[in-house]
């Protein structure tokens, strides 16, 4: 069984092992011991904080294999992307140009630096070991963040977005960056990512990036081809997020041109399909002809835990039948409330 839970200080060593195998510029996990410890401490403080308005809180979760206690994945959600400054992205625009004298009109694809994602809640830091072999636990790790947002809506905005890594080559170089950002920052892609620490809300971005629309046809072909494309390591996350209800048409990352998925919470399956049910313990050996798999989360902000479980359908019932192992993993008892959503 796998359980998603808030990160703890005792997980730092395990997170260091995960970070050691991630690719710079592709995964957003912090790399050094100090950075990882700071992220963990920030998450613990965020879970403990009394929140009225989403601000600087950042919530980190880990995926634990209960049989071994191993940490095999992590994911995070930030309450407000612009809490430490304006969040910048490129918006896909179409500019209409008309010459009445020549009787010519045409549309031009352009990229406009914008801050429209500021104050959205941001999903990030998704990583799971052996993603090629991952099963339903991969979907659980992605969805658990949103289950927590369902449980604690006051901690988050009404809109969410997820930046995904764009195309880079074997040396970590980005054709989109080489065609655009490099001209203004005067440094390689990975060097630029290190300078800003993966953030998109640094003042130097608006100081250096072009303020006027960038006409896409003027960019080299490889840069145009990379726009909105996903790094192979991000394909699993992209699939899970689009199934959830996120869309990827409007914005791209200002550095590598990767897609930025966004959605209103009412468009997301976890929000529209979640149900609160009272826990009942399933009888040992009892089985229904029709079993449905749900992501089930304990309805406690401070002791949040989420698992997947196959049980009889709960849509028309007031209770959810959970085996003893599920009760133990969620740390709930019969009579407690949980949140369920089909997965």
63 touches 125 (CB < 8 A): no
What is the reported pLDDT for 288? 64
The model scores a pTM over 0.85 = yes
What CA–CA distance (Å, rounded) separates 305 from 282? 19
Q: How far is the CA of 215 from the CAs of 90, 104, 107, 156, in angstroms?
A: 12, 18, 11, 35
Q: How far apart are CA 255 and CA 82, in angstroms?
A: 18
Q: Which class for 129: exposed (0-12), middle (13-18), buried (19 or more C-beta within 10 A)? A: middle
CA 95 to chain centre: 31
**Measured between alpha carbons, how far apart are the two ends of the chain, in Å?**
15
- Three-state secondary structure call for residue 164: coil
Dig out the tokens for 80 from the structure: 């407000």
Q: CA distances (Å), 183 to each of 84, 99, 176, 180, 271, in order? A: 26, 31, 11, 6, 42
Q: Cβ(168)–Cβ(177) under 8 Å?
A: no
Predicted local distance difference test score (pLDDT) of residue 94: 95
Is beta strand 337-342 parallel, antiparallel or unpaired with respect to 291-298? Answer: antiparallel
Q: Indicate where the chain has its CATH 3.40.630.30 domain(s).
A: 2-89+114-269
Query: What is the fold, at CATH topology level, of the domain defined by 2-89+114-269?
Result: Aminopeptidase (3.40.630)
The CATH 2.40.40.20 domain(s) of the chain lie at 274-342
Domain 274-342 architecture:
Beta Barrel (2.40)
Q: HEC states along 61-95?
A: EEEEECCCCEEEEEEEEECCCCCCCCCCEEEEEEE
Q: What is the pLDDT along the chain (343 residues), one digit of tens a residue?
A: 999 999 999 999 999 998 887 665 556 677 789 989 999 999 999 999 999 999 999 999 999 999 999 999 999 999 998 777 788 899 999 999 898 888 899 899 999 999 999 989 999 999 998 877 778 999 999 999 999 999 999 999 999 999 999 999 888 889 999 999 999 988 888 888 877 766 665 677 878 888 899 999 999 999 999 999 999 888 999 999 999 999 998 999 999 999 999 999 999 999 999 999 999 998 876 666 688 999 999 988 888 999 999 998 998 889 999 999 999 999 999 999 999 999 9
DSSP tag of 116? T
State the Cα–Cα distance between residues 141 and 3, nearest whole angstrom: 9
pLDDT given for residue 211 in this prediction: 86
Residues 6+ apart with CB under 8 A from 287: none
CA distance 67 to 137: 14
Give the single-character DSSP code of 319.
E
According to DSSP, residue 230 is labeled P
Q: Which candidate, 156, 154, 139, places its Cα nearest to that of 306?
A: 139
Asked if residues 43 and 60 have their Cβ atoms less than 8 Å apart, the reply is yes
CB of 313 within 8 A of CB of 161? no
**Biggest CA pair distance of the chain:** 82
Hey, what are 270's tokens?
Answer: 């976890």
For residue 337, the surrounding DSSP H or E stretch is strand 337-342
> Whole-angstrom Cα distance, residue 262 to residue 251?
9
pLDDT of residue 293: 94
Residue (of 272, 312, 4) closest to 142 by Cα position: 4
Beta bridge partners of 311: 292
User: Which DSSP string do the residues of 248-313 spell out, in sequence order?
Assistant: EEEEE-TTT--EEEEEEGGGSHHHHH-EEEEEEEPPTT---SSEEEEEEEES-STT--EEEEEEE-
The token pair at 97 is 């140009």
* Angstrom distances, CA of residue 19 to CA of 68, 73, 126, 246, 252: 20, 10, 11, 26, 25
């Amino acid at each position: 069984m796998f359980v998603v839970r808030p990160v703890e200080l005792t997980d730092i060593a395990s997170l260091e092992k995960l970070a050691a195998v991630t690719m710079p510029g592709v995964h957003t996990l912090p790399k050094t011991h100090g950075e990882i410890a700071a992220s963990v401490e920030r998450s613990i403080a965020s879970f403990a904080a009394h929140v009225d308005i989403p601000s600087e809180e950042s919530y980190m979760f880990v995926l634990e294999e209960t049989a071994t206690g191993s940490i095999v994945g992590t994911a995070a959600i930030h309450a407000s992307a612009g809490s430490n400054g304006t969040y910048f992205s490129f918006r896909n625009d179409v500019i209409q140009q008309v010459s009445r004298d020549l009787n010519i009109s045409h549309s031009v694809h352009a990229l406009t630096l914008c801050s429209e994602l500021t104050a959205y809640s941001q999903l990030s830091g998704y990583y799971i070991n052996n993603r090629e072999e991952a099963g339903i636990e991969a979907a659980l790790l992605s969805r658990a963040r949103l289950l927590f947002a369902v449980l604690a809506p006051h901690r988050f905005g009404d809109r969410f977005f997820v930046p995904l890594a764009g195309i880079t080559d074997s040396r970590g170089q980005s054709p989109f960056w080489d065609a655009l950002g490099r001209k203004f920052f005067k440094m390689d892609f990975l060097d630029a990512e290190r300078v800003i620490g993966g953030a998109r809300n640094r003042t130097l971005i608006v100081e250096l990036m072009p303020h006027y629309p960038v006409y896409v046809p003027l960019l080299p072909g490889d840069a145009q081809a990379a726009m909105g494309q996903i790094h192979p390591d991000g394909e699993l996350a992209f699939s899970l997020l689009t199934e959830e209800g996120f869309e990827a048409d409007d914005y791209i990352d200002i550095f590598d041109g990767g897609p930025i998925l966004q959605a209103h919470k009412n468009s997301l399956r976890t929000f529209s399909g979640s149900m609160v049910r009272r826990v009942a313990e399933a009888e040992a050996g009892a089985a229904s002809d029709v079993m449905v798999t749900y992501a089930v989360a304990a309805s406690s902000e401070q002791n949040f835990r989420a698992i997947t479980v196959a049980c009889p359908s709960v849509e028309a019932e007031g209770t959810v039948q959970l085996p003893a192992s599920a009760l133990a993993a969620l740390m709930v008892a019969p009579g407690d409330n949980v949140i369920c959503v089909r997965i």
